[in-house]
Structure 1
Amino acid sequence: MDLIIRNARLPHAPDAAPVDIGVADGRIVAIAPRLAGDGQAFDAGGQLACAGLVETHIHLDKTRIIDRCPPEDGRNANAVPRVAAVKHTFTEADVYRRASQTLENCIKFGTTRMRTHVELDGGVEMRSYDALETLRRDYAWAIEIELCVFPQEGLTNNPRSGELLIEALRRGAKVIGAAPNYDPDKSGQIRRIFELAREFGTDIDMHLDSGNSPDDMDIHLVCELTKQYGLEGRVAVGHGCKYSTLPPRDLSALAAKIADAGVAVTVLPATDLYMMGRNQTHSIQRGVANANVLVEHGVNCSISSNNILNPFTPLGDGNLIRIANMQANVCQVGEPQRLRECFMMLTERSAKLMNLKDYGLAVGNPADIVIFDATTPEQAVAEVRLPLACFKNGKQTVTRPRAELHKP
């Protein structure tokens, strides 16, 4: 064995005795107590190990642009036009530089797999896509990145976006998305995205149902088309703010429908907290869908970052554990088992959403291993515990020493 990680606790059995994880040629070859071997050793010290965090929904192309965007107009965030106004300044070098800064933070916080959403329209052409393709290759030593291309500023009214989507799909983009809220023909955009997904054999991941009331939800059409096209398990939607406005009985019924269609939901608490309730001046609604309730009704859910340091979310640092803690606070999740489920929405559930067949601490899988400064998943979420070390394909990529007190 090339590497043995000793004394690690596993997420599904944190109360059991720690085990060793043996690695050879970049893959896990054994998981058992007290493995024998002469390779390099890393002592986890009884702390929690996982296969790394999975970021299912982030926008690396427009990260770190808050300093160049026009300011908000009172309570109106105007995020889409504020970003659109500066897209002409995006060069490949600029996108790469900004995205790499955020990406390196994500890696340092324990993310080993990622789906980044990429806007395609006439304002930016293929510059962001090309930059992120280069970034994907350059950082493969630490993280696997999947690109989801989508039309942020409309599709049915924006022929150039349609042309660019097809170009990106021909180049090998694995996922196609949508943003129907910004299209005059919402259902037309959704239907066209399903047609393209069928034509190119891609998965789908849409921005869906942001808003302050339950009116005019698009999830019903998405569920219908998912079943019609036989794409169960290959369609995800992000945001779902409108689901937070439903009374419990209606939310349960909707969750059952989503689960039956095999559609996954990604909740994006940082952006949704920042963007929703702008129609109110006090007692502002939270706008964050309750992922735990959806999971308890059979829906697969992930929790993700979305935007970082731009008009949609002018805050953030790439720490998914902090985002899960935020979700738990907003949705008043405090029970250990439900906090553990939040951790699973950063790991196993996110991997399932992305259809990652080789994810997890199991013999034969890639040796992607992150050691957290916690003994249980629920402690990691509740206390925003940080990773102590990260490994990608058996090679250490991150070291984070514990802080020490120097008492007098």
Structure 2
Amino acid sequence: MSLVEGVLSKKLGQKVEAGDTVEVKVDLAMTHDGSTPLAYKALREMADSVWDREKIVVVFDHNVPPNTVKAANMQKMALEFVKRYNIKYFHRGGEGICHQILIENYVLPNMFVAGGDSHTCTHGAFGAFATGFGATDMGYIYATGETWIKVPKTIRVNIVGKNNRVSAKDIALKVCKELGTRNIYKAIEFGGNVVKDMDMDGRFVLCNMAIEMGAKTGIIEADEKTFEFLKKERKMNEEEINKLKREVVKSDNNYDKEIEIDITDMEEQIALPHSPANVKPISEVEGLEIDQVFIGSCTNGRLSDLKEAAKYLKGRKVHKDVKLIIIPASKKVFIDALREGLIEIFVKAGAMICCPGCGPCLGAHQGVLGDGEVCLSTSNRNFKGRMGSDKSYIYLCSPKVAAISAINGYISSDIHES
């Protein structure tokens, strides 16, 4: 079986195959300040109770603090939902992006995770089945704890070779270029020696961007890297870890398609407007002048990303014509960055540090683009108008390239001191 088939078969207690339609009990359900009000409205049309207040997570992250009356009213309605049903796990504005909150606190291997946000696929990095749902579906899930799903076919992507110059973000962009954006209702299973050696932060990046390839989810087999992460970050004990290890599902070559990507000679990658699949090696884009750089988002706002950016920004200044915006993915990331002196490095360099959350990624606030402006971003989407004006231009890159480019004033992979 593919990994997705294995995880769903284990959960259902019977063998399922790609194409089967099954009803599944949800282990964890999440909505944010943008999707909770809509799910709440749908729920109220079905029932006046939730299935399990301890399996629902609500996070305020998309517009924090709210900067419009509409955003404030959405959060007011979401808070009404939390209070009405005594939801146990509520993360107020400033605690972080919903996907990072789930990474730090909730998701485990073999879980079925339903989220009211398309990038819920991030959590496939734990060896879980995680995917996004619309508001009506989330309302039904909140009411019943169940949903139906068609078991997706799997595309296996083997990433091989060795290259210390490129990051998981470069690899994700390369995969997006190779697969395109029309892999509708497929699972993308990542493997190969590069993924095996990759830390969890890198794996989160790969799975996060599966939705940009048109997929239903991304997934990676749970292994020692997964369990070390859970021990270190979640403080899980040996008994808990060993129990998870006994339940691990392995992938077994039942793929609809299989490709191999060798990164040995790969350059850093840049996604050009207006698609995450419109990707070129940096040598073909280098020198393009930029107005704004954004380092953050559910793709690249973790501590390892901030450390990477700080390596290049330390003792240097952001170019006089560039706005550099840095947003930690969570309060925990923010505090850790403070303790390690990263925030001081960023502020001295001339960056603007904003409240943990989604920030300018969705074009709501904290860095909206004007007509004709060019932004280099570590986020996951560069659709037309995504970050503000539909006359602006968004390029996607790694934290390393973002930091270097902020210093130079143009897209680049090496610092050019004046």
TM-score (norm: length of structure 2)? 0.28
TM-score (norm: length of structure 1)? 0.28
